Structure 1
């Protein structure tokens, strides 16, 4: 991930913006996982 990722539902949205490349995924709907070093 080079810029950011977000998760949202019908009423809320959460965004995560980064300033360097990191790993990220969404294995389950409604959840995000970020891997920082």
Structure 2
């Protein structure tokens, strides 16, 4: 049970970090595109 909870917690943290990085990359690329055009 504890291992399953730990796995769920790791998955939760990974998804949050992944979303944050995706939004950051999206913001950076949109900013660069805006500067270019």
Q: Shorter-chain TM-score: what band?
A: under 0.3
Q: Which structure has the bigger radius of gyration?
A: 2
Question: Structure 1 or 2: larger strand share?
Answer: 1
Q: Which has the higher contact order (CA 8 A, sep 6+)?
A: 1
TM-score of the pair, normalised by structure 2: 0.17
TM-score of the pair, normalised by structure 1: 0.17
Question: Structure 1 or 2: larger helix share?
Answer: 2
